């Protein structure tokens, strides 16, 4: 190594040591006193977070004050980048795991000297490992909301079907029994909503779950950064899930049960004309409230019977420290308090959602829904997206170009590969 390289490396190491020492030795103002106030921006609901932060502070021996600002997902990145450019900004951010990739250069990684990779893996569900980066943790997991399957019990019973499907290949025999058409072939009642995007609630997350189950991570981390693994005409883990998804919107297919002329899938399920709805665990209360007379139940998202891996999309929120924050050490103390097991357990009870912590899941639950949600949390996955709106548009164009017959599967995949790769490159250069 040259003398210049040695000096540069030494300076870099000193910065790392200084950062770790600052975190490790910071004790705030002492027990019973108040930490410096911090600000947090995020897409997490403000009413829930503000009450939760106040509860945690009141129960803590070291008080803190958090000023939280909720942003719409489509607004967050623009506003965050803009405020940082003006030399201001929050001390921490609270966004979903599929939103943080373009902001990794704006996040201060929590050093592994404070939380080792082994401790992190033993503490949090597997989806949390998206935050493991070479130089530290990009966030501490906060909440998880997995995609699950809601099914209409009355519709199943009327069709003579005793239980819900656990595997995707079971739909071969279910669709005809659960789908009703009039004399002109128009769909009046549907088994499930698949094959389109415009009128399928959570279509991006559903199709993404199929890819993840097939063993395709969608976006992979490489030695040089990130690359798209989702598309490619020779990719066997792509064509099968994609063809499965679109066949339900093909009038020539015996499993035809959905088209873009039907109402939104969630509305159809609420109205009793859709037997199966793929929604988030957090939607349970909303479904109950909007139709108290609907006789439905919840189950894990169906899986592949053989091959692949168990997976369902999970909407995970994580707390990250902003690199430009003047209060990084105090912010870390607050984030630690907000993610203590006893506090996370209370947050899960309040939101009626599963927990991100393995030790809390191990305790089990006597609640029939939470027990299912916890199982889903253990197999929840996501991918480091450029932006959820980006991949939603790529998926939409891909699917609609196939269902309309405008493009062959090879052409559609090549188009999607080019489009998504370009978006990824732009996001990483921002």
Work out the pLDDT band at 30, boundaries 50, 70, 90. Answer: very low
Whole-angstrom CA distances from 22 to 18, 112, 360, 367 are: 6, 14, 30, 43
pLDDT at 7: 41
**Strand pairing category for 92-96 and 219-222:** unpaired
Compute the distance between CA of residue 338 and CA of residue 335 in angstroms, rounded to an integer. 5
Asked whether residue 1 is domain-assigned, the answer is no
Query: Across the strands, what pairs with 317?
Result: 96, 143
- CATH number of the domain at 414, please: 3.40.190.10
Write out the residue range of the structural domain in which residue 191 sits: 147-313+384-429
C-alpha angle 318/322/324, rounded to 5°? 175
The tens digit of pLDDT for each residue in 150-160 reads 999 999 999 99
Q: What is the three-class DSSP state of 115?
A: coil
* Together in a domain, 302 and 342: no
**Residue bearing tokens 């969630």:** 266
248 with 175: CB under 8 angstroms? Answer: yes
Question: Which pLDDT belongs to residue 23?
Answer: 64
Do 71 and 169 belong together in one domain? no
Based on the fold, state whether residues 414 and 285 are members of the same structural domain.
yes
What is the distance between the alpha carbons of residues 187 and 173, in angstroms, rounded to a whole number?
Answer: 18
- Cα(184)–Cα(243) distance, integer angstroms: 26
Residues written for the chain:
430
In whole angstroms, what is the distance from residue 279 CA to residue 231 CA? 25
pLDDT of residue 413: 80
Residues 268 and 183 in one domain: yes
Residues of the chain with pLDDT > 90, as a percent, come to 78
Question: How confident is the model over 365-385, as a mean pLDDT?
Answer: 97
Is there a single domain that holds both residue 89 and residue 218?
A: no
67-101 pLDDT tens trace: 999 999 999 999 999 999 999 999 999 999 999 99
Residue 362, SS3? helix
| % of the chain exceeding 70 in pLDDT | 90
Residue 9 domain-assigned?
no
* Together in a domain, 273 and 183: yes
Measured distance CA(144)–CA(347) in Å, rounded? 11
Q: Is residue 212 part of a domain?
A: yes
The pLDDT of residue 106 is 97
The SS3 assignment for 303 reads strand
Are residue 134 and residue 216 in the same domain, yes or no?
no
Contact assessment for residue 350 and residue 48, using Cβ atoms and an 8 Å cutoff: yes
Task: Please state the separation of Cα 193 from the chain's center in Å.
Answer: 21
* CA nearest neighbour of 95 among 103, 105, 83: 103
Residue 58 confidence class, pLDDT cut points 50, 70, 90: very high
For residue 159, being part of any structural domain is answered with: yes
Burial tier of 227 (Cβ tally within 10 Å: 0-12, 13-18, 19+) = exposed
Domain count, the chain: 2
Q: Mark whether 133 and 81 lie in a shared domain.
A: yes
For 309-319, write each residue's pLDDT tens digit: 999 999 999 99
Whether residue 207 has pLDDT greater than 90: yes
Whether 298 and 345 map to the same domain: the answer is: no
CA distance 142 to 100: 14
pTM: 0.92
Cα distances from 121 to residues 29, 317, 358, 369, in angstroms, run 31, 17, 9, 25
Q: Which residues contact 138 (CB under 8 A, 6 or more apart)?
A: 100, 104, 107, 109, 131, 132, 318, 320
Average pLDDT, the chain: 91
Mean pLDDT, range 261-286, rounded to an integer: 98
Q: How far apart are CA 384 and CA 221, in angstroms?
A: 9
Q: How far is CA 2 from the centre of its chain?
A: 45
- What six digits make up the tokens of 236? 């066997």
Q: Are residues 362 and 395 in the same domain?
A: no
d(CA 166, CA 2) in angstroms, rounded, equals 61
Residues in contact with 255: Cβ distance below 8 Å, sequence separation at least 6, in sequence order: 171, 172, 175, 176, 247, 248
Q: Label residue 2 by pLDDT band (50, 70, 90).
A: very low
Does residue 181 share a domain with residue 308? yes
If asked whether residues 161 and 49 sit together in one domain, one would say no
Residue 355 burial (10 A CB sphere; 0-12, 13-18, 19+) = buried
Confidence at residue 230, expressed as pLDDT on a 0 to 100 scale: 64
Position 3 in a domain: no
């Amino acid at each position: 190594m040259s003398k210049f390289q040695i000096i540069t490396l030494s300076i870099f190491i000193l910065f790392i040591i200084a950062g770790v020492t600052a975190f490790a030795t910071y004790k705030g103002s002492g027990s019973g006193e108040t930490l410096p106030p911090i600000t947090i921006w995020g897409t997490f609901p403000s009413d829930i977070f503000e009450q939760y932060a106040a509860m945690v502070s009141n129960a803590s021996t070291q008080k803190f004050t958090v000023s939280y600002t909720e942003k719409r997902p489509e607004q967050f990145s623009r506003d965050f980048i803009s405020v940082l450019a003006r030399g201001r900004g929050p001390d921490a951010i609270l966004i979903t795991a599929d939103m943080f990739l373009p902001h990794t250069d704006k996040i201060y990684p929590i050093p592994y000297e404070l939380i080792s990779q082994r401790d992190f893996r033993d503490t949090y569900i597997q989806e949390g490992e998206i935050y493991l980066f070479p130089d530290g943790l990009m966030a501490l997991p906060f909440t998880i909301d997995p995609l699950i399957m809601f099914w209409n019990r009355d519709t199943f019973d009327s069709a003579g079907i005793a239980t819900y499907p656990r595997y995707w290949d079971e739909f071969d025999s279910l669709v005809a029994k659960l789908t009703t058409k009039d004399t002109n072939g128009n769909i009046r009642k549907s088994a499930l909503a698949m094959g389109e995007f415009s009128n399928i609630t959570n279509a991006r997350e559903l199709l993404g779950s199929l890819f993840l189950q097939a063993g395709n991570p969608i976006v992979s981390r490489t030695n040089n950064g990130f690359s798209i693994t989702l598309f490619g005409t020779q990719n066997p883990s792509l064509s099968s899930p994609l063809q499965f998804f679109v066949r339900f919107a093909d009038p020539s297919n015996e499993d035809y049960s959905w088209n873009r002329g039907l109402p939104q899938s969630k509305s159809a399920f609420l109205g009793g004309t859709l037997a199966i709805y793929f929604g988030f665990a957090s939607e349970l209360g909303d479904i109950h409230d909007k139709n108290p007379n609907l006789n439905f139940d919840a189950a894990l998202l169906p899986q592949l019977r053989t091959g692949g891996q168990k997976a369902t999309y999970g909407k995970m929120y994580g707390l990250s420290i902003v690199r430009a924050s003047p209060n990084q050490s105090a912010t870390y103390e607050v984030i630690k308090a907000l993610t203590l097991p006893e506090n996370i357990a209370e947050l899960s009870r309040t939101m009626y959602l599963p927990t991100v912590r393995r030790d809390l899941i191990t305790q089990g639950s006597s609640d029939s829904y939470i027990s299912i949600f916890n199982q889903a949390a253990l197999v929840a996955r996501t991918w480091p997206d450029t932006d959820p709106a980006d991949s939603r548009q790529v998926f939409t164009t891909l699917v609609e170009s196939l269902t309309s017959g405008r493009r062959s599967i090879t052409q559609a995949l090549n188009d999607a590969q080019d489009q998504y790769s370009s978006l990824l490159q732009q996001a990483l250069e921002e």
